[in-house]
Amino acid sequence: MDSSRTRGKGSHMICCANPAAQFHSYRDEIEAAVLKVLRGDRYILGVEVESLENEFASYIDVRFAIGVANGTDALEIAMRALEIGPDDEVITVSHTAVATVAAIEAAGARPVLVDVHPLFYTLNTEQLQQALTPRTKAVIAVHLYGQPADLDAISQFCKANGLFLIEDVSQAHGAKWRGRRLGGIGDVSCFSCYPTKNLGGIGDAGLITTNDDRLANKIRMLREYGWQQRYISSIAGRNSRLDELQAAILRVKLRYLDADNTKRRIIAAQYSSLLAGDKNKVPIIREGAEHVFHLYVIRVKERNKLLPYLRSNNIQAGIHYPVPIHLQPAYKNTIRTAENMSITEALSDEVLSLPIYPELVMDDVRKVIEVINSH
């Protein structure tokens, strides 16, 4: 049963995200693709993975795409391929999924966190210089909520200081910066294909993109024990293989990604036109950016009152993210940050993610708007 039609208090629940609905949209094609894998004789790193890699590379307009087990692994393996490790520092934001920072630490490096832009919620480029030390090796630009970071300024900073630029595109599949797909601008780029993502599997999956053939070859080795020749580890690697089932599912969904992103933008435009006002700060799109609205995030002053009101009206909203990484128990007082993290800390008290996914019907969008405006 479609989870968006779960009954409660006399009407269906409007979900914040609904990957099951997308399965139903493409059910026949997905089931046929899965059945083909089940009837085949290769379940890991086979023809489906290779085909997905080629198709995704073509879509992003890069030379190489490499499938891995998940988005966190994608970031870690990308850093290991760039030889980023112990005593190295990587600059990124605190207002992001914890996976970004977890991956830096998994690679053995030290995260250095900066604040975000007050309008766009991506990396505040004005703080990059103060975060720089002789140990800095890279900047991870997180394209948050589907909004591209300021890649012009970040690229310029990285080139001026001999740093690697890593794009974290986990929330922005298909988005563009000045006409170019995200994932084709940095030295290496990483994607999560978690089920709720714009390009999501039915399980965990990840992709890494690059134009560097040496780097691509090393990433392939790192994802499977450092092998070039089977059973012979030329370098120390690990196990982060993408399975054929997820690759087959992602190949189906990739064909519809642009159309689904268009549906997200239509929903976002409806929200923005009817929610804007003194009570709600709606998203602002950066000049030169093509936003894909993985999440539609507003800022509200009385979130703790609005959330239960939405729930009482069968509307599920989310918070991305409720506690900045630098204030979480695992990292508080142990991680270096910029002196001023005020925007990040304010956002954690005010951000609210409204329902958005390609299959969300306009009647439900209008209900969300009506309920918020009536509060």
DSSP state letters, 40-73: SS--BSSHHHHHHHHHHHHHHT-SEEEEES-HHH
Query: Which pTM value belongs to this model?
Result: 0.96
Among 331, 295, 302, residue whose Cα is nearest residue 121: 295
Helix (H) or strand (E) holding 189: strand 188-192
Q: Is the model's pLDDT at 6 over the cut of 60?
A: no
Q: What is the mean pLDDT of the chain?
A: 96
> Is the separation of the CB atoms in 349 and 303 below 8 Å?
yes
Q: Which domains are seen in the chain, by residue range?
A: 3-24+256-374 (3.90.1150.10), 27-254 (3.40.640.10)
Distance (Å, whole) CA 97 – CA 153: 22
**Residues 276-331: pLDDT tens digits?**
777 899 999 999 999 999 999 999 999 999 999 999 999 999 999 999 999 999 99
**Hey, CA dihedral for 77, 81, 85, 89, is it positive or negative?**
negative
Q: What percent of the chain has pLDDT over 90?
A: 95
Tokens of 79: 């850093």
**Residues 230-244: pLDDT tens digits?**
999 999 999 999 999
pLDDT of residue 55: 99
Q: Where residue 9 falls among pLDDT bands split at 50, 70, 90? A: very low
DSSP state letters, 3-23: GGG-EETTEE-B-S--HHHHH
**Residues 90-118: pLDDT tens digits?**
999 999 999 999 999 999 999 999 999 99
Under 8 Å CB-to-CB from 26, ≥6 apart: which residues?
252, 253, 256
Distance (Å, whole) CA 119 – CA 303: 19
Helix boundaries (H) for 188-289: 213-222, 244-254, 257-275
